[in-house]
A and B are shown apart, each in its own frame.
Chain A
Amino acid sequence: MIRKFSSPKTFYPLAGKLMPWFFWTFAVLGLVGLYWGLVLAPVDAVQGQSYRIMYVHVPAAWMSMMIYTSMTAAAITALVWRTKVAEYWLLCSPGLGASFTFITLVTGSLWGKPMWGTYWVWDARLTSELVLLFIYFAILAMKSAVPDRRKAARVMAMITVVGFVNIPIIKFSVDWWTTLHQGDSIFRKGGPSIAPAMLVPLFMMALSFTSYYFWLVLKHIRTMIERKPV
């Protein structure tokens, strides 16, 4: 199954069919979610208007981890089966992952200044997210250092798999340590602690960001296939 799906010959037309779906999900949900989140959603009782930055911050943070997880899956596939599409996936993801991680850190800092009174603290959540950014940078550095594309992909795959240790650390950092960053308020025991009118646009933004990533990755992989015909 993996072999058939991941051969560029099957993947190329399939990606072409999927791309418009991802694009329109990204565009429509992004616009509706942004308008709903930034304008229609009620003002927060404690945080006032500044909570609205979460409509960018939270989806970007999810993306930073989701992209890394998808890269790990691609890395294992690339190392075990040496499939080309998995290698392409690995080659074009870390740049996007680093961007989302950067957005997460910047929006978080901007929110932290009015709420916590500081742009940055060295608490477990913030530090592990920063480490994630550095891991993305390390993977990108290896990508640019190895001239051969297929070899670069496998070198990146090794680092990706080892660096995956950091992902559960980010996810559970708010449970394992006492952090200034608040704990989970959405995926937790007893259901989300956010009002639906605020939660729905958040999910729209998350879905929009995810579609944006898939749209770009598919586009990128198609370009790579075109540049080097199989």
Chain B
Amino acid sequence: MKVNGFSFRRYFFFCLRLLFRQRREVALPLFFFLLVSSLFPLSFANHAVPLLAPAALWITALLSILLSLNNLFREDVEDGFMEQLMVAPQPLGGLVAAKMLAHWVAYILPMFVCLPLLGLWYNMPSDTLFVLSLSLLLGTPTLLVLGALAAALAAGLKQGGTLLILITLPLATPILLFGLTMVDMSQNGLSYAAARDFLAAMAVVSIGIGPLVTAASLRIGMD
């Protein structure tokens, strides 16, 4: 797919390469994810851990995604690269989409790799672990888009990082609740199709219009 000399694949790999070169920084949110996830089983009584596990992992995942989003546009805005992208003939929505996909691969995909380990920490049955992973897989695109939108709006601001969290958390609450409903239903042996379909629908909408809305927000934020 090429529009005005813009190749989604090339820019995606470009972003990925950049992220790989700063892999120590990229690892920080993942480290945060592991650290906080280990705090929950430490601080609660043993019998409460399985009960608590899905909620703890979902909240920790949400927070570490927010932590990672702080870096999504900030450097590009600060060193002027974002302004270059805006005046470039390539569609900004496409550039943002490639950037967000690279962000998902670099920051969020490793969390899924760690999930089986966390399942062991939390003594989670494999069924629950599967449904939890599925709920996170369907939920993270929407979380990423909501956070990217907030990051774009807060890009040039002094308190950007705090504002990003403040804006995203209330907007992300429904996603969190539906994700946990899914796990809860499956734990009680009920069908979790309704919550799964809702999350999937939100993910499709987010992937479809998210990059465009984020690009528009960047233009507003950089105004």
- A residues with CB within 8 A of B: 127, 131, 134-135, 137-138, 141-142, 145-146, 148, 151, 154-155, 158-159, 162-163, 165-166, 169
Closest 4 CB pairs of A and B: A134-B170, A138-B167, A135-B170, A154-B220
B16 at the interface (CB under 8 A from A): no
Interface assignment of B56: CB less than 8 Å from any CB of chain A:
no
Q: Are A163 and B166 in contact (CB under 8 A)?
A: no
Q: Chain B 71-94, CB within 8 Å of chain A: the 1/0 string?
A: 000000000000000000000000
Check A155 against B174 for contact (C-beta < 8 Å).
no
Complex contacts, B223 vs chain A, CB 8 Å: 148, 151, 154
Contact with A along B168-179 (1 / 0, CB 8 A): 011101100100
Give the segment of B20-28, B35-43, B133-141, B149-157 that binds chain A. Answer: B149-157
Question: Complex Cα distance A155/B150, Å?
Answer: 9
Which of chain B's residues have a CB closer than 8 A to the CB of A166?
170, 174
Total interface residues on B, CB under 8 Å, equals 23
Q: How far is the CA of A98 from the CA of B9 in the complex (A)?
A: 44
Given contacts A145-B154, A145-B159, contact A158 B174 (CB under 8 A): no
Which chain A residues lie closer than 8 Å to B221 at the CB level?
155
Is B174 a contact partner of A169 (Cβ separation < 8 A)? yes
Chain B residue at minimal CB-CB distance from A138 = B167
How far apart are the CA atoms of A159 and B221 in the complex, in Å?
A: 12
| Residues of A close to B64: CB separation below 8 A | none
Shortest beta-carbon distance, B30 to chain A, in Å?
27
- A159 CA to B149 CA, complexed, in Å: 9
Chain A nearest CB, measured from B1 CB (Å): 27
Q: Is B95 at the interface (CB under 8 A from chain A)? A: no
Main secondary structure of the interface of A (DSSP, over half): helix
Q: A146-B157, A158-B149 are in contact. Are A138 and B220 (CB under 8 A)?
A: no
Residues of B within 8 A of A137 (CB): 166, 170
Tell me if A165 and B163 are in contact (CB < 8 A).
no
Of B163, B169, B170, B223, most A-chain CB atoms within 10 Å? B170
Min CB distance B179 to A, Å, is: 15
Main secondary structure of the interface of B (DSSP, over half): helix
- Closest B-chain residue to A148, C-beta based? B223
Most buried by A among B153, B154, B157, B223: B153
Q: Is B68 part of the contact surface with A, judged by Cβ < 8 Å?
A: no
Cross-chain pairs A/B with CB under 8 angstroms, 14 sampled: A127-B177, A131-B170, A138-B171, A141-B167, A145-B154, A145-B157, A146-B157, A151-B223, A155-B220, A158-B217, A159-B171, A162-B149, A165-B174, A169-B174
Residue of A nearest to B152 (CB): A158
Q: Does B108 contact A (CB under 8 A)?
A: no
B183 within 8 Å of A (CB atoms)? no
- Does B53 have its Cβ within 8 Å of any Cβ on chain A? no
Q: Which of B157, B163, B167 has the most CB of A within 10 A?
A: B167
Binary contact track B206-223/A, C-beta < 8 Å → 1, others 0: 000000010011001101
In the complex, the chain A residue whose C-beta lies closest to that of B153 is A155
Q: Which B residues, 167 to 203, have Cβ-Cβ distances below 8 Å to chain A?
A: 167, 169-171, 173-174, 177
The listed residue (A141, A158, A162, A165) touching B220 by CB distance below 8 A is A158
Indicate whether A135 sits within 8 Å of B171 (C-beta atoms), given known contacts A141-B163, A151-B220, A158-B217. Answer: yes
Q: Is the C-beta of B146 less than 8 angstroms from some C-beta in chain A?
A: yes
Q: Which residues of B contact A162 (CB under 8 A)?
A: 146, 149, 171, 213
Given contacts A134-B170, A134-B173, A163-B170, 18 further A-B contacts (CB under 8 A): A131-B170, A134-B169, A135-B170, A135-B171, A137-B166, A137-B170, A138-B167, A141-B163, A141-B167, A142-B153, A145-B163, A146-B157, A158-B149, A158-B220, A159-B167, A159-B171, A162-B149, A166-B170
Cα A155 to Cα B154 in complex, Å, equals 9
Cβ distance B81 to chain A, nearest Cβ, rounded Å: 21
Min CB gap A74→B, angstroms: 16
CA distance A165 to B154 in the complex (A): 21
B169 to chain A, nearest CB (A): 7
Q: Collect the chain B residues with CB atoms within 8 Å of residue A138's CB.
A: 166-167, 170-171
The minimal Cβ–Cβ distance linking B207 to chain A, given in whole angstroms, is: 15
